[in-house]
């Protein structure tokens, strides 16, 4: 497996949003941060150990990437891809 993954694909595999296009739009909005650095690129690289700050609805979720995925799996497997640090 690659040591990195596209931001939009990672968000989709981790089930942060229901659709891949929604994940790409979220990444393109410029409101997602990777290791405190803002990005507006859906193709930005995400690696194990990165901390993502993601605005979701009326809250901000901060997660640490624990693993990458080749494809989107069931919710239990998706939850194992990250550790929630802050937010709700």
What are the tens digits of pLDDT across the range 53-77? Answer: 999 888 999 999 999 998 998 999 9
Cα(first)–Cα(last) distance of the chain, in Å? 31
Which residues of the chain, if any, have pLDDT below 70?
A: 1-2, 86-88
Structural domain range at position 31: 5-86
Domains of the chain: total: 1
- What is the reported pLDDT for 57? 83
84 alpha-carbon distance from chain centroid: 11
**Model confidence pTM above 0.75:** yes
Q: What is the pLDDT of residue 9?
A: 96
- Give the pLDDT of residue 26: 93
Question: What pLDDT shows up at residue 88?
Answer: 53
The Cβ of residue 31 has, within 10 Å, a number of other Cβ atoms equal to 14
Q: In what order do the strands lie in the sheet with 51-56?
A: 37-39, 32-34, 51-56, 59-65, 82-86
Kindly report the CATH number assigned to the domain that includes residue 60. Answer: 3.10.290.10
Q: Residue 63 forms beta bridges with which residues?
A: 52, 84
Please give the torsion angle defined by the CA atoms of residues 68, 74, 77 and 78, in that order, rounded to the nearest 10 degrees: 50
pLDDT of residue 87: 55
């Amino acid at each position: 497996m690659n040591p990195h993954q596209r931001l939009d694909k990672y968000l989709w595999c981790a089930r942060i949003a229901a659709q891949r296009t929604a994940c790409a739009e979220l990444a393109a909005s410029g409101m997602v941060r990777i290791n405190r650095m803002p990005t507006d690129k859906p193709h930005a690289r995400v690696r194990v150990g990165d901390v993502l700050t993601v605005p979701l609805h009326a809250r901000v979720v901060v997660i640490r990437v624990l693993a990458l995925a080749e494809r989107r799996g069931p919710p239990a497997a998706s939850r194992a891809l990250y550790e929630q640090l802050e937010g709700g």
